[in-house]
Structure 1
Amino acid sequence: MEHVLRQCLIALRLAERAGISEADRVSVYYTALLVNVGCHSDAHEQAKWFGDDIALKQDKYTYGLHPGVAGALATVRRFGAGGDGLMGRFRLGLEFVVSGHRDLAEMVSHHAAMARRIGVGLGLPEDTLGALGAAYEMWDGHGWPGELAQEQIPVAARLAMIGEFVEVAHRVGGVAAARQLLRSGRGKQFDPDLARLLDDEAELLLSELDMVDAWDAVIGSEPALEIVLTDDELDEALLAIADFVDLKSPYSLGHARAVAELVAGAAERLSLTEADQRTLRRAALMHCYGKLGVSNAILDKSGPLTPGERERLHMVPYLTHRMLRQSPSLRPIGDLAVQFGERLDGSGYPHGLASPALSPSARVLAAAHLYQSLREPRPQREGLTATSAAAHLRAEVRAGRVDGLAAQAVLSAAGHRASRRVQGPAGLTPREVDVLRLLARGLTNKQIADRLVVSRKTVANHVEHIYAKLDVSTRTAAALFATRHGLLAPAPDGNA
Structure 2
Amino acid sequence: MLALAFIGDLSMGRPTDHSHRTAWLAARLAAEDGGTDRDCQSAHDVSLLRWSGCTANAAGFDQLLGDDVAGRDALFEMTLPINAERAAAIVPLAEIHCEVSGEIASQLGMDDQVEAGLRNIFETWDGRGNPGRLRADDVPPVVYHVALASDLEILSRARGLEAALEKIASLSDEKYPAPLVQRLQRTAPQWLATLDENQPQGPTQDLTLVGRDVPLELIADVADLKLPWLAGQSRQVAACAAATAAQLGLDANTQALLQRAGLIHAIGRAALPNHLWERTGRLTAADRERVRLMPYWTFRAASHIPVLKAEADLASYAYERLDGSGHFRSLSAAALTVPHRIIATAVALVALRSPRPWRPAFDAAGAAQVLRDEAAQGRFDAEVVEAALAALAGSRPRTPAKAAISLSAREADVLRRISLGESNKEVARVLEISPSTVRTHIESVFRKLECSTRAAATLKAFTLGLI
Give, in angstroms, the shift of residue 401 of structure 1.
1.2
Equivalent of residue 138 in structure 1, options 104, 107, 124: 124
Residue 397 of structure 1 corresponds to 375
Alpha carbons of structure 1 residues 262 and 337: separation in structure 2 relative to 1, 3 Å: same
CA distance in 1, matches of 2:349, 2:236: 10
Normalised by the length of structure 2, the TM-score is: 0.77
Residue 28 of structure 2 corresponds to 13
Give, in angstroms, the shift of residue 101 of structure 1.
5.0
Give, in angstroms, the shift of residue 281 of structure 1.
0.9
Letter in structure 2 aligned against 1:213:
Q
Give, in angstroms, the shift of residue 362 of structure 1.
1.2
Equivalent of residue 83 in structure 2, options 65, 68, 91: 68
SS in 1 for 2:55: coil
Letter in structure 2 aligned against 1:58:
D
Alpha carbons of structure 1 residues 405 and 121: separation in structure 2 relative to 1, 3 Å: farther
Alpha carbons of structure 1 residues 60 and 196: separation in structure 2 relative to 1, 3 Å: same
CA distance in 1, matches of 2:195, 2:156: 9
Letter in structure 1 aligned against 2:18:
H
CA distance in 1, matches of 2:266, 2:205: 28
Equivalent of residue 302 in structure 2, options 324, 329, 332: 324
For the 8 Å contact 2:24–2:204, the answer to whether it is kept is no
Residue 207 of structure 2 corresponds to 223
Letter in structure 1 aligned against 2:54:
C
CA distance in 2, matches of 1:54, 1:189: 23
Letter in structure 1 aligned against 2:302:
L
Residue 413 of structure 1 corresponds to 391
CA distance in 1, matches of 2:61, 2:132: 22
SS in 1 for 2:193: coil
Deviation string 1:275-298 (CA, Å, 9 cap, x unpaired) is: 212211111011111110111121
Letter in structure 2 aligned against 1:188:
E
Residue 47 of structure 1 corresponds to 62
For the 8 Å contact 1:14–1:205, the answer to whether it is kept is no
Equivalent of residue 112 in structure 1, options 73, 85, 98: 98
Equivalent of residue 150 in structure 2, options 154, 164, 186: 164
Give, in angstroms, the shift of residue 137 of structure 1.
0.8
Residue 208 of structure 1 corresponds to 194
Give, in angstroms, the shift of residue 194 of structure 1.
1.7
Give, in angstroms, the shift of residue 199 of structure 1.
1.0
SS in 2 for 1:207: helix
Normalised by the length of structure 1, the TM-score is: 0.73
Residue 102 of structure 1 corresponds to 88
CA distance in 2, matches of 1:402, 1:256: 20
CA distance in 2, matches of 1:188, 1:65: 18
Residue 189 of structure 1 corresponds to 175
Q: Which moved more, 1:307-316 or 1:262-271?
A: 262-271
CA distance in 2, matches of 1:114, 1:298: 24
SS in 1 for 2:281: coil
Unaligned runs of 5+ in 1: 70-96, 418-496
Give, in angstroms, the shift of residue 240 of structure 1.
0.7
Deviation string 1:319-377 (CA, Å, 9 cap, x unpaired) is: 11112233332211121011011111222111111222212111111100001111222
Give, in angstroms, the shift of residue 62 of structure 1.
4.5
SS in 1 for 2:195: coil
For the 8 Å contact 2:241–2:388, the answer to whether it is kept is yes
1:324-473 alignment runs, 5 A limit = 324-415=302-393
CA distance in 1, matches of 2:87, 2:184: 33
CA distance in 2, matches of 1:395, 1:136: 51
Equivalent of residue 28 in structure 1, options 22, 43, 55: 43
CA distance in 2, matches of 1:281, 1:180: 49
Greater Cα radius of gyration, structure 1 or 2: 1
Deviation string 1:400-434 (CA, Å, 9 cap, x unpaired) is: 211122212211221169xxxxxxxxxxxxxxxxx
Unaligned runs of 5+ in 2: 1-14, 396-467
Give, in angstroms, the shift of residue 30 of structure 1.
1.3
Alpha carbons of structure 1 residues 225 and 240: separation in structure 2 relative to 1, 3 Å: closer
Give, in angstroms, the shift of residue 8 of structure 1.
1.5
CA distance in 1, matches of 2:239, 2:319: 18
Letter in structure 1 aligned against 2:223:
V
Letter in structure 1 aligned against 2:187:
E
Alpha carbons of structure 1 residues 221 and 373: separation in structure 2 relative to 1, 3 Å: same
Alpha carbons of structure 1 residues 209 and 223: separation in structure 2 relative to 1, 3 Å: closer
CA distance in 2, matches of 1:228, 1:116: 15
For the 8 Å contact 1:198–1:205, the answer to whether it is kept is no
CA distance in 2, matches of 1:347, 1:65: 39
For the 8 Å contact 1:290–1:319, the answer to whether it is kept is yes
For the 8 Å contact 2:375–2:381, the answer to whether it is kept is yes
CA distance in 1, matches of 2:206, 2:235: 30
Letter in structure 2 aligned against 1:176:
E
Please give the root-mean-square deviation of Cα atoms over the aligned residues, in Å: 2.1
Residue 471 of structure 1 corresponds to none
For the 8 Å contact 1:29–1:222, the answer to whether it is kept is no
CA distance in 1, matches of 2:275, 2:95: 23
CA distance in 2, matches of 1:297, 1:222: 41
SS in 1 for 2:304: coil
CA distance in 1, matches of 2:259, 2:390: 17
CA distance in 2, matches of 1:137, 1:64: 20
Q: Which moved more, 1:334-343 or 1:100-109?
A: 100-109
Give, in angstroms, the shift of residue 225 of structure 1.
4.6
Letter in structure 2 aligned against 1:285:
L
Alpha carbons of structure 1 residues 109 and 66: separation in structure 2 relative to 1, 3 Å: farther
